[in-house]
Amino acid sequence: MQAIRDLIDTEKLKHIMNIPENFGDKVEVIVLPFNKDEKSESYYLMKMQQHCGYIQALLNDPDEDVWDDL
């Protein structure tokens, strides 16, 4: 995956996006390519991990089911 990472003055970005005043004079911007037809690397990593024993044990553990407490 390719990415661009840069520090940019907040004044240059204010016409593009709403940046809170408490962010200061500079912000870090990370730009990632987007293709709506292509799934990201993180998606494939998530799919590989969803069937591992740890995740299955965690999902099936009644102590981890916080929705029952709501």
**6 pLDDT tier (thresholds 50, 70, 90):** very high
Longest dimension (CA), the chain: 50
Rounded to two decimals, what is the model's pTM? 0.45
Please give the share of the chain, as a percent, with pLDDT higher than 90: 20
Instruction: For residue 23, give every residue at least 6 positions away whose Cβ sits within 8 Å of its Cβ, in sequence order, or none.
Output: 10
Residues 1-25, mean pLDDT to the nearest whole number: 88
- Integer CA distances (angstroms), 45 to 6, 38, 51, 67, in order: 26, 14, 11, 26
Instruction: Summarize pLDDT for 40-52 with one digit per residue, the tens.
Output: 677 777 777 766 6
Instruction: Summarize pLDDT for 19-47 with one digit per residue, the tens.
Output: 888 999 999 998 877 766 666 677 777 77
